[in-house]
With several copies, the nearest count.
Chain A
């Protein structure tokens, strides 16, 4: 979960990382109650990068200009994203700018401290400027000092900049982050340090164990009324908006392999759902059977999806149970509301004990049950080609 700049800076402030006086602007009217003296910087609060180049950051010197600029930014989409909030912030004259980050690295299987004495937009792409320190054992402040020395800083700057890295690391650990980044860290002519822009990514799995972050996530997603597990962002994978095939399988690797096969055979996949393998150890999440039903419902709601290929291997449910779930969904979707009595068409691929236990049920359901994966893929693509995608 990516935080917006203003949220990241609130955490920075709580952690003791210096940030400028700033104010959140939810609507134009908020600019009238501004407590920060002009000139100020107005910043679009979107999650995508390249905000400055896109015109999402403006310096203004009075209220009239501020209102005009805010109106523009509120309506300016940046990579399809329209900001809900702006940040009004004091202007800062930085003499030098550094880049600092803590990131979880899957190659070393450790958090890594990153830094560059040249902060700015393109630091991440210029690898040769970016210094790294792997936090091999438990963190201690000397890891931060190592980074600072590698960045080429000297003398009185060493301690305060490494103090900021230390605080970033504490935040990283405390909040279960994938990334915390300050870019740039401004250094004034007098040596004062200031986090001018910040990025924070919370690891999705850890959200539920942090009460404060769970509340933020709920607000962000605004999903109070969300009933279907797959309506939650990140539980369904959109492949190609113009596709007409849905894939549902148990296991990420199996779903990806099925996607590759269907695509290679000329099919166009719109959405993939991974309902996960095995039984669920967390009672707060839906069971395997529930995920199967909710997944089929989710795909059936998309009128562009003509064919769904279900690929289930070695599940904890007996094939009979799977067949029952499918017939339930199939019945729901053959109510008068849908034009087609069985929309979308379902093709099921089972192997092993599921296949043997389910054969009778499926023949009654008129859903094709195929053991060979290549064969199931071939039929899926054939069916999809004979049912042209609808215009929405």
Chain B
């Protein structure tokens, strides 16, 4: 994944309002937001960002795009992402929430065929503290450093970053894969990226109930990750079977036993893989410090 501070970023679904909040925040952070796309708004300019009707018009004007951020409404996400892929963009961050999961299945088939990375949907994106902001992460909680955070949440990620920052542990990068049942990228992919990233010393994995991605991550960490990993799982006290605004539990996990998806099953998986698990966000920093000393 190309996360260079000067990489060129597109803003699909740009409006005056979204640009005033998220657009300005990213530009202030130094992110190279070169163009926006919104059919019907072509020709306008928001905060010095030129707007086009089509992705291909934007590319014709500003050259190749490294990453596009999708902010369009839920039922338009699939089309916007396919338009980006057709125009040759290979890194897509979907901030929008509410995308129907079968649209995501359709998109994943195309993404895999074209080797396109999809982050999200329902994701605040990626922040490389002090360098690059791709999405809606709030900068105020982050500080540069050596801890990588991978999460399924947005505001809970800020909570974790805040605890680390308060404890003097800056972050190399934080990414949320998004809280949806069908996510574009996986914990496994990001664990591998962090493991290979020279600026990352330790990894914090923030999971929650639903799905089986934490269970899969626990196995993968034990088998393939060299850097220390600390886990935290939200939802231990949540009644089973509810979706809590995320749809991680809506789609079935087929043929993997009835217990998969509960916070307990996830905690057990980390325990049996020998990965330290924090009981609460404020405990994470001490576990990280301890793990870094041991290594």
CB contacts (< 8 Å) of A142 on chain B: these are 54-55, 79-80, 82-83, 86
Q: How many angstroms from the CA of A107 to the CA of B282 in the assembled complex?
A: 30
Report if A306 contacts B (CB, 8 A).
no
One of B56, B181, B245 near A106 (C-beta < 8 A): B181
**A203 neighbours in B (Cβ, 8 Å):** 100-102, 250
- The answer, yes or no, to whether B247 is at the interface (CB within 8 Å) is yes
Complex interface: chain A residues within 8 A of B216 (CB)? 107
> How distant is the Cα of A386 from the Cα of B166 in the complex, in angstroms?
32
Chain A proximity mask over B156-198: 1 for CB below 8 Å, otherwise 0: 1111001000000000000000010111000000000000000
Complex Cα spacing A239 to B157, Å: 23
The 8 Å CB contact of B159, one of A208, A313, A316, is: A313
**0/1 string, A109-130, CB within 8 A of B gives 1:** 1111010000000000101001
A109 in contact with B53 given A176-B100, A255-B244, A373-B281 (CB within 8 Å) = no
B155 contacts which chain A residues (CB < 8 A)?
Answer: 249-251, 253-254, 277, 312-314
CB of A141 closer than 8 Å to a CB of B: yes
- A192 touches B (CB below 8 Å): no
How far is it, in angstroms, between the C-alpha of A114 and the C-alpha of B255 when the chains are bound? 10
Question: What are the residues of chain A within 8 A of B253 when measuring CB–CB?
Answer: 105-107
Nearest-CB distance from B41 to chain A (Å)? Answer: 8
In the bound complex, residues from chain A placing their C-beta under 8 Å from that of B21 are: 279, 316
Q: Say yes or no: B238 contacts A259, CB within 8 Å.
A: yes
The residues of B that contact A127 with a CB separation of less than 8 Å are 255, 257
Q: Are B245 and A274 in contact (CB under 8 A)?
A: yes
Q: Are A261 and B280 in contact (CB under 8 A)?
A: yes
A150-190: contact bitstring with B at CB < 8 Å (1 yes, 0 no)? 00001110110010000000000100101100000000000
Q: Please, which residues of chain B bring their CB within 8 A of the CB of A130?
A: 255
Contact of A43 with B by CB under 8 A = no
Q: How far is the CA of A146 from the CA of B60 in the complex (A)?
A: 14
- CB-based contact A252/B153 at 8 Å: yes
- Closest Cβ of chain B to A262, distance in Å, is 8
Determine the interface band of chain B, counting residues with CB < 8 A from chain A: 35 or more
Which residue of B has the minimal Cβ distance to A237? B242
Residue among B43, B53, B71, B136 having the largest count of chain A Cβ atoms under 10 Å: B53
Contact of B151 among A253, A276, A279 (CB under 8 A): A253
B181: A residues at CB distance < 8 A: 104, 106
Contact B154 A278 (CB under 8 A): yes
Chain B, Cβ-Cβ closest to A355: B140
Say whether A52 faces chain B, with CB atoms less than 8 Å apart: no
- CB of B222 within 8 A of chain A? no
- In the complex, whether A140 has a CB less than 8 A from a CB of chain B is yes
Q: Which residues from B are CB-within-8-Å of A279? A: 17-18, 21
In angstroms, Cα B235 to Cα A311, docked, is: 16
Would B244 and A252 count as touching, CB distance under 8 A?
Answer: yes
Asked whether A314 lies within 8 Å of B73 as measured between CB atoms, the reply is no
A313, chain B: closest CB distance, angstroms:
4
Evaluate contact between B281 and A257: CB separation under 8 angstroms: yes
Chain B residues contacting A80 (CB-CB under 8 Å) are: none
> Residues 251-273 of chain A: 1 if any B CB is under 8 Å from the residue's CB, otherwise 0?
11111110111011000010010
* Interfacial chain B residues near A145, Cβ < 8 Å: 39, 53-54
Q: What residues of B have a CB within 8 angstroms of the CB of A234 in the complex?
A: 243
The answer to whether the Cβ of B209 comes within 8 Å of any Cβ in the partner chain is yes
Tell whether, in the assembled complex, residue A104 and residue B105 are in contact, meaning their CB atoms are under 8 Å apart.
Answer: yes
A179-B158 Cα distance, complex, nearest whole Å: 35
B271 within 8 Å of A by Cβ?
A: no
Whether the pair A103, B99 counts as a contact (CB closer than 8 A) is no
In the complex, A50 has a CB within 8 A of chain B: no
Give a binary string over B130-159; 1 marks a CB under 8 Å from any A CB, 0 the rest.
000000111011000000000111111111
Collect the chain A residues with CB atoms within 8 Å of residue B136's CB: 277-278
B248 within 8 Å of A by Cβ?
yes
Q: Identify which of B100, B158, B279 contacts A209 (C-beta below 8 A).
A: B100
| Residue A392, interface by CB 8 Å | no
Q: Indicate if A81 sits at the interface (CB-CB under 8 A).
A: no
Closest-CB distance, B279 to chain A (whole angstroms): 7
B40 touching A159, Cβ below 8 Å: yes
Q: Which residues, 6 to 21 on B, are CB-close (under 8 Å) to A?
A: 13, 17-18, 21
| List of B residues within 8 angstroms of A312 by Cβ | 155
Q: Are A281 and B71 in contact (CB under 8 A)?
A: yes
Q: Is B285 engaged at the interface, CB distance under 8 Å to the other chain? A: no
Whether a CB of chain B sits under 8 angstroms from the CB of A390 is: no
Q: Which of B72, B155, B211, B246 has the most CB of A within 10 A?
A: B155
Contacts A142-B83, A279-B17 given; indicate if A256 touches B252 (C-beta within 8 A).
Answer: no
Q: How far is the CB of A161 from chain B (nearest CB, A)?
A: 11
A125 and B254 alpha carbons, distance in the complex (Å): 11
In the complex, chain A residues whose CB is within 8 Å of the CB of B204: none
What are 19 inter-chain pairs, A to B, with CB distance below 8 A? A103-B252, A105-B251, A109-B104, A112-B252, A178-B250, A179-B252, A205-B101, A237-B238, A237-B239, A252-B208, A253-B155, A253-B206, A255-B245, A263-B237, A276-B97, A277-B154, A282-B98, A313-B138, A373-B281
Q: Which residues of A contact B (CB under 8 A)?
A: 103-112, 114, 125, 127, 130, 132, 136-138, 140-142, 145-146, 149, 154-156, 158-159, 162, 173, 176, 178-179, 203-206, 208-209, 234, 237-239, 249-257, 259-261, 263-264, 269, 272, 274, 276-279, 281-282, 312-314, 316, 351-353, 373-374
Given contacts A140-B86, A313-B155, 16 further A-B contacts (CB under 8 A): A103-B254, A105-B252, A111-B102, A111-B105, A142-B86, A146-B56, A155-B40, A156-B40, A178-B252, A237-B244, A238-B239, A253-B179, A255-B245, A257-B281, A278-B136, A281-B72
For the complex of A and B, list the 5 residue pairs with the smallest distance between their C-beta atoms, beginning with the closest.
Answer: A253-B153, A253-B156, A251-B155, A314-B138, A142-B83
